Chains A and B, each alone.
Chain A
């Protein structure tokens, strides 16, 4: 059981490290464009929510916070991130169609 927890938490740590790298790239892109309405900022927010879910999950797995290990808060936060990401893409597509603007232009802005 200990080995299993260690195995899963080591991959949890790897996931977290990779997510922080991805967040760094998109925060850098947002800083370069200096516009919080753009796609890069929204992706950064999505990654930040995802990281929050991962941290909650890890704290639960390692038994640091008892509430997190007995409930599925981490997974709910992960689902929230996915819902936000999906909604973000569809809303951007809908608004670009409505304004008669290509979505590629909205992706390239900034």
Chain B
């Protein structure tokens, strides 16, 4: 009985951390091969680790975006946006909403990564033009 209450309280306390070993409508409806609770729990922990690492990495470009002015700030803002969107992707996946995470947040984060690359290309091209013009 005590164990039941402990589990009940833990589920309420950590309701935001949905370790997908619980009810997952998608898996029940589709009979998904990923219905293994151990595998889902491991995946959730890996998503948590990835999300923490991404948000930790976002500190540096976010700090630079606030500190820098001019064209280089556009590059750091794009990098921050990529890291934050990818971090959100891992948080959404961790919550068990894998289909939305994989179909929306992951492609969105890569599109922002491409935008970062294009911005970088534009800024370096501009810098090269200025250097040859001098």
Contact = CB atoms under 8 A, between A and B. Distances in A.
Interface of A: 1, 3-5, 7-8, 11-12, 14-15, 18-19, 21-22, 25-26, 28-29, 32, 40, 47, 69, 72, 75-76, 78-79, 82-83, 85-86, 89-90, 92-93, 103-104, 107-108, 110
Interface of B: 26, 30-33, 39, 42-43, 46, 49-50, 53-54, 56-57, 60-61, 64, 68, 72, 75-76, 86, 99, 102-103, 106-107, 110-111, 113-114, 117-118, 120-121, 123-124, 127
B99 A7 contact: yes
B53 A86 contact: yes
Interface SS of chain B: helix
26 contacts: A1-B30, A4-B32, A7-B99, A7-B103, A11-B107, A15-B102, A15-B106, A18-B111, A18-B114, A19-B110, A22-B110, A22-B113, A25-B114, A25-B121, A29-B117, A32-B124, A47-B113, A69-B33, A75-B46, A76-B46, A82-B86, A86-B53, A89-B60, A90-B56, A92-B60, A103-B60
B107 A15 contact: yes
Residue in A7, A21, A89, A92 with the greatest tally of chain B CB atoms within 10 Å: A89
A65 to B, nearest CB: 14
Contacts of A14: 107
Contacts, number: 96
A27 B110 CA distance: 16
A33 B50 CA distance: 30
A82 B55 CA distance: 10
Contacts of A29: 117, 120-121, 124
